[in-house]
Structure 1
Amino acid sequence: MIQWFSAIKKEWLEAIRDKRSIAMALIIPIMMPAMMGGVIGFLIEKESSSSFDVAVVNSHLAPDMLPHLAGERMQIEALEPGNYNPEELLEEYDAVLIIDEDFSSDLIQFSPATSELWFNSSQSTSNGAARQLRAKLGALSRQLTQQRMTGFGVPTVAMRPIAIVSRDTAKPGSRAAIVLGSMPGMIIFAAFACALATAIDTTSGERERLSLEPLLVQPASTWLLMCSKWSVVTAFGWIGAALTAVLLSVVMSLLPLQELGISWQVSYSALAMVCFQLLPVAMFAGALMLLVALKAKSFKEAQTLLGILQIAPLVGLMAIDLSDKVIEQELLLIPFVSQQQIIKASFSADASFDLWAWGGVAITVALALGVLALASRSLNKPHRLLS
């Protein structure tokens, strides 16, 4: 027992004294929520403050229509009658509405009145202006239809053969989880990034400082030595990832997400579940990084390999999100996938977790111990490790 405490104390003292490890463990949890908050804040500001400039050609043929199109974010400019090139007008305006010459006569004769809507779908403002115009024109068309039918003596109720009552059953935070689906992957990535410097320093760093060989001649098993290193690397990864999750939740709760039509209501119990799920992630990440760093032949090689390793889970989890594939049953047994789904469910205020997901958590812990055993066996071959 004294050997355990001595080994763990030695690793912790070295980790705390390494300013680079401490800096990495603090910078990542602060930087990632700040970046996410900045991006979401930019989207909210753009969504709430965007205005559209629309040119209406032949507006004199439908003067009563312009007040229906104008709005708080829709600036309507009526152009003088003439021959215009719509593509040239789109260089100055977000959208162009051209009213047909027979517009007024078609309305009087109860024929479809034609108007052309020109826009550039490759530009977000032009696409948004076209969407707003279609909505306003659709509302105006329904209003005219109702007025015509009322003039013919048709009751208003008869024009609504089907009444649709929309009831949203989404739980608080579920829409936020859809929009912010990349958050679980970012948090899992933080478990790797926050522990990377410590994992390299306690393996390749000790080997280059020539302090690993004196450690191996001590009367302690290689399993004990590796577990002491693993505990420190796991702690750095777990604390960094948990801090990232907490700060992300705080940042999201401070943003006016209602402007995007989503809500963020993550309870303390859900946040605690997220932090708990990050522990097996940090355990597996720590064991994997220790094994790779021990196999590396130099400090720089370890940095390169672990740099690639920490990105691999993020890319894989983001690919799963983008594919919209339903993750269930056997797929939940894949390491990190089960944690991703449980974290996403926690952010969605969904307390029901599949037993397959918990099986995936158990497999992640078992694989962490297996990889740790392989790393400890590497210490049993000092001639290869120190060569």
Structure 2
Amino acid sequence: MHPAFVVYLKEVRENLRDRRTLTSAFLTGPLLTPLLFVVLINLAIHQQLEKAERPLKLPVIGASYAPNLVRALEAGGIVPQPPLADPEAAVRRQDVDLVLRIAPAYAAAWRKGEPVQVELIHDSSQRNAGTAVERVSRLIETYARQQGAMRLVARGLSPTLAAPVQVADRDQATAQSRAVLMFNMLPYLFVLTLFIGGMYLAIDLTAGERERQSLEPLFINPVPRGQIFLGKLAAICTFSAASLAISLLAFGMVGRFMPAERLGMEIDLGPGFALRVLVLQLPMIVLLAALQSLVAAFARSYREAQTYLSLLMLLPILPSVLLMVLPFKPQAWMYAVPLLGQHLGILDLVRGDGLGLLPLSACLAGTAFVALLAVAATLRLYRSERLAISA
């Protein structure tokens, strides 16, 4: 039997008995992450839809100056409330989401046919107030357009004179492509699952063995250290791949309970999607395993390795942060950049556009090249005498 395969079987068998490794690789990341993701998305959707549909209580100052406007708001599901003495302070204290204030000069200006103004007092830093503000603003704008059209008709003019240019909205987004707005964190979650799935195993097979002083006896055996490293690397890759497979399976199951259709979206996280993501992440599995082994090899204790790898965990979030801060149109060369290529590729799959042969080849080749460099660097470290010295 090949020595690397012997090392692989030994490490897999021993770590299958390690409760901490099994919990991190097969439970914490792969199962809890999809469950929490779906629960949070469902709560957010239900909260927004409930705010958009239920009657909205709105304090109105000066309601008697514009009774027709108030009745129009009531027809749109707004429930006028008594005025507040200090509306600005009430909004800042978050006692109310917004307040409508109508000036005393409203009635006189309206009778003269002059433009009138109403105030919506709100705090834009309160995210939960955005739906209410948009809802009231839309109702007031609709009422304003209707009244403007009636004024033109009363003067014998066509209402179209006030709108010489009309915009016809031709949205080319499909129900599946709109799902990217909700599921744009999926690529990061998949990479994070890969990272966590192999992290504790990578720590145990390097820093852990140095701390237990079991690495020196292993290196004494008449087996090339490169084969020992390849066996350990294969074990880490196996746990990472299994963690990703469980996560994909979990997303495929819980994705059916996501009310995406209520937002006009469609998401397909079935077997076809899972298989494509798994193929896309194959070189990333090797790259992360090699980087984890490389970083953990510099640590002399298990705890020290945990500290180093916790800092390395910030690496997978970079593409997500980059796309949020600097949104840009994907270029062909970007697919060859590790992490960024996987991120863009998975978003293409979520959008339903598919992944062409050229982007797929660039993604696999670019990440595989960097993975080989990481493997070579770690292999060189394994051949040094420094690694054989226990803490």
TM-score computed with the length of structure 1 as normaliser? 0.88
The Cα shift of 1:30 comes to 1.4
Distance change in 2, residues 1:275/1:383 (3 Å): closer
Cα pair 1:173 1:263 within 8 Å, conserved: yes
* Partner of residue 7, structure 1: 7
- Superimposed CA distance per residue, residues 68-125 of structure 1 (whole angstroms, 9 cap, x where no aligned partner): 112575321255xxx9544256465433223233433433332223333322323335
Q: Where does 1:178-197 land on structure 2 (aligned, <5 Å)?
A: 178-197=181-200
Equivalent-residue separation in structure 2 for 1:161 and 1:144 (angstroms):
17
For the residue of structure 2 that corresponds to 1:70, the secondary structure is helix
Listed as ranges, the gaps of 5+ residues in structure 2 are none
In the alignment, is residue 206 of structure 1 matched against residue 194 of structure 2?
A: no
Equivalent-residue separation in structure 2 for 1:198 and 1:383 (angstroms):
21
The Cα shift of 1:141 comes to 1.2
* Partner of residue 295, structure 2: 292
For the residue of structure 2 that corresponds to 1:17, the secondary structure is coil
For the residue of structure 1 that corresponds to 2:338, the secondary structure is coil
Listed as ranges, the gaps of 5+ residues in structure 1 are none
Distance change in 2, residues 1:307/1:100 (3 Å): closer
Q: Where does 1:225-304 land on structure 2 (aligned, <5 Å)?
A: 225-304=228-307
Cα pair 1:266 1:346 within 8 Å, conserved: no
Q: Which moved more, 1:341-350 or 1:84-93?
A: 84-93
User: Residue 293 of structure 1 aligns to which amino acid in structure 2?
Assistant: A
In the alignment, is residue 36 of structure 1 matched against residue 37 of structure 2?
A: yes
Distance change in 2, residues 1:357/1:122 (3 Å): same
Cα pair 1:208 1:299 within 8 Å, conserved: yes
For the residue of structure 2 that corresponds to 1:96, the secondary structure is strand
User: Residue 134 of structure 1 aligns to which amino acid in structure 2?
Assistant: S
The Cα shift of 1:162 comes to 4.6
Cα pair 1:182 1:321 within 8 Å, conserved: no
The Cα shift of 1:274 comes to 1.0
Distance change in 2, residues 1:76/1:250 (3 Å): farther
Q: Which moved more, 1:237-246 or 1:191-200?
A: 237-246
* Partner of residue 146, structure 1: 149
Cα pair 1:226 1:372 within 8 Å, conserved: no
The Cα shift of 1:341 comes to 1.0
Distance change in 2, residues 1:20/1:64 (3 Å): same
In the alignment, is residue 77 of structure 1 matched against residue 78 of structure 2?
A: no
Match of 2:97 among 94, 98, 105: 94
Cα pair 2:76 2:139 within 8 Å, conserved: no
Equivalent-residue separation in structure 2 for 1:5 and 1:89 (angstroms):
69
The Cα shift of 1:271 comes to 2.6
* Partner of residue 61, structure 1: 65
- Superimposed CA distance per residue, residues 254-309 of structure 1 (whole angstroms, 9 cap, x where no aligned partner): 12134445432345323321121122111111111112222222222222112211
* Partner of residue 321, structure 1: 324
Equivalent-residue separation in structure 1 for 2:364 and 2:294 (angstroms):
21
TM-score computed with the length of structure 2 as normaliser? 0.87
Q: Which moved more, 1:290-299 or 1:257-266?
A: 257-266
Distance change in 2, residues 1:181/1:308 (3 Å): same
Q: Please provide the CA RMSD for this pair.
A: 2.7
The Cα shift of 1:192 comes to 0.9
- Aligned pair count reads 384
The Cα shift of 1:338 comes to 0.9
Q: Which moved more, 1:255-264 or 1:287-296?
A: 255-264
User: Residue 59 of structure 1 aligns to which amino acid in structure 2?
Assistant: A
* Partner of residue 368, structure 1: 371
Cα pair 2:333 2:362 within 8 Å, conserved: no
The Cα shift of 1:366 comes to 2.5
For the residue of structure 2 that corresponds to 1:284, the secondary structure is helix
Equivalent-residue separation in structure 2 for 1:338 and 1:127 (angstroms):
34
Equivalent-residue separation in structure 1 for 2:257 and 2:223 (angstroms):
51
Q: Which moved more, 1:186-195 or 1:298-307?
A: 298-307
Distance change in 2, residues 1:104/1:187 (3 Å): same
Q: Which moved more, 1:150-159 or 1:377-386?
A: 150-159
- Superimposed CA distance per residue, residues 116-174 of structure 1 (whole angstroms, 9 cap, x where no aligned partner): 33223233354443322221111111111222333344456666655544332113432
* Partner of residue 23, structure 1: 23
- Superimposed CA distance per residue, residues 15-62 of structure 1 (whole angstroms, 9 cap, x where no aligned partner): 212222111112211121122223212211321223643122232232
Cα pair 1:338 1:358 within 8 Å, conserved: no
Equivalent-residue separation in structure 2 for 1:241 and 1:247 (angstroms):
10
User: Residue 63 of structure 1 aligns to which amino acid in structure 2?
Assistant: P
User: Residue 356 of structure 2 aligns to which amino acid in structure 1?
Assistant: F
- % identical aligned pairs: 24
